[in-house]
Amino acid sequence: MQPHTFIFFGPSGCGKGTQAKLLQKELEKRDPGRNILYIETGEELRKFVTQDNLTAQETKKVIEGGGLLPEFIPIYIWTGIMINKIKGDEHIFMDGISRRLVEASVLDSAIQFYKREKPFVILMEVSDEWASKLMKSRGRVDDTDEKIKTRLDWYKKNVVPAVEYFKNNPYYNFISINGEGSIEEVHQELMSKIFG
């Protein structure tokens, strides 16, 4: 099996993290000797803001205030992981990366630089109602109706153009998945579209 690259997209609450982890387990069974690099920007940003420097402090203020980070911060986070951790023969999972159009072209340049063959772009499609219900069931304090609506609106305005960038690029295997099923049903659809 050749090393695969999977880039997951979908609104908050669509279950993309769950499906990425299930796919990771499947790959570990099918290709047991190969390393897997899992890049998840949110987790890395939470680590980053604990550092003692001006950039980390300002980033923390923006996040806590519910503001929008300038593009260079998330790009710095995930390009840093790539530079330090990609060895060339691993499977790569990307979750929460390239959430704006300008990031999409930077990510594309990185994919080409590392000569990743035919990466999979996986779009988890769910309605706003479905995503809202899932977010509320997580029990997080910041999952209020107002904040959920803001997140979903932001996704449509910013992330959807980034998704379209990859959808319209023939270098990528673009897969659309109906996320409104049981975890197992969604997983089965994903498996059939990736492995046939």
pLDDT band, very low/low/confident/very high, at 178 (cuts 50, 70, 90): very high
As a dihedral over the C-alpha atoms of residue 126, residue 69, residue 120, residue 162, rounded to 10 degrees, the angle is: 70
The tally of domains found in the chain comes to 1
* Amino acid occupying residue 29: K
- How far, in Å, CA of 39 to CA of 114, rounded? 15
- 78-131 pLDDT, tens digit per residue, is 999 999 999 999 999 999 888 899 999 999 999 999 999 999 999 999 999 999
DSSP structural state of residue 69: -
CATH number, domain of 17, equals: 3.40.50.300
Query: 110: domain range?
Result: 5-195
